[in-house]
Amino acid sequence: MGLFYRAGQFWRVLTAGKLPESAWAEISAVLSEDELALFQRFSNSDRRHSYRVLRTLKSAGDQNADLLTAALLHDIGKTQAALSIWQRSLIVLGSAIFPQRSAQWGQGKANSWRAPFAVKEKHPDWGADMAQKAGSRPLTVELIRRHQEPLPAVVEREADRLLRRLQWADDLN
């Protein structure tokens, strides 16, 4: 990811406002009541990010319910440990400069200076567990759990095809 992309991300986090009512109506049409309660845990910037991922997929013609739900909830595990904008910046910088070390740091507990890296590494599992408890469908839970995984060279399963779409839309936003 380029410097301008990351600067744009930083700016969007700093300036994120509330979603308009039209967005909430669209989100409510995708999520169950319990899933919507999860979505409401997000900060304004995370809500906007997830909504942009949803809009990207829908604009590209994607209509799979599990994919659209995963688009909105793929980062919900991040709500388990609140991170400041500076901690989020540390993740980006650390991952770019020390990719292997940042992955190692992420294996630690989310209660030290390594917390941002632990959140980055562990939020897919945390989020999948949260979604499962909220009654999300198994394929939605799988997509959330795997949203940061490298894809296999040959995509044969429907879940892998949907995961590719989710990662594509997430990377654009």
CA–CA distance, 54 with 48 (Å, rounded to integer): 10
DSSP, res 150: P
Residue 82 CB burial class (10 angstroms; 0-12, 13-18, ≥19): exposed
89-109 tens-digit pLDDT: 656 665 666 666 556 555 666
CB 118 within 8 A of CB 110: yes
What pLDDT score does 95 carry?
Answer: 61
pLDDT at 151 over 60: yes
Q: What is the pLDDT of residue 154?
A: 78
pLDDT of residue 98: 60
Rounded CA separation 91/116 (Å): 6
C-beta separation of 116 from 105 below 8 A: no
Identify the DSSP state of 157.
S
Q: Kindly give, in sequence order, each residue whose CB lies less than 8 Å from that of residue 110, ignoring residues fewer than 6 positions away.
A: 80, 81, 118, 119, 122
Cβ contacts of 91 within 8 Å, gap of 6 or more: 83, 102, 116, 117, 119, 120
The residue among 66, 90, 81 whose CA lies nearest residue 146 is 66
Confidence of residue 118 (pLDDT cuts 50, 70, 90): confident
Token pair of 55 as six digits: 């809009």
Domain boundaries, the chain: 3-172
For range 146-159, the mean pLDDT? 88
Predicted confidence at residue 30, as pLDDT, reads 98
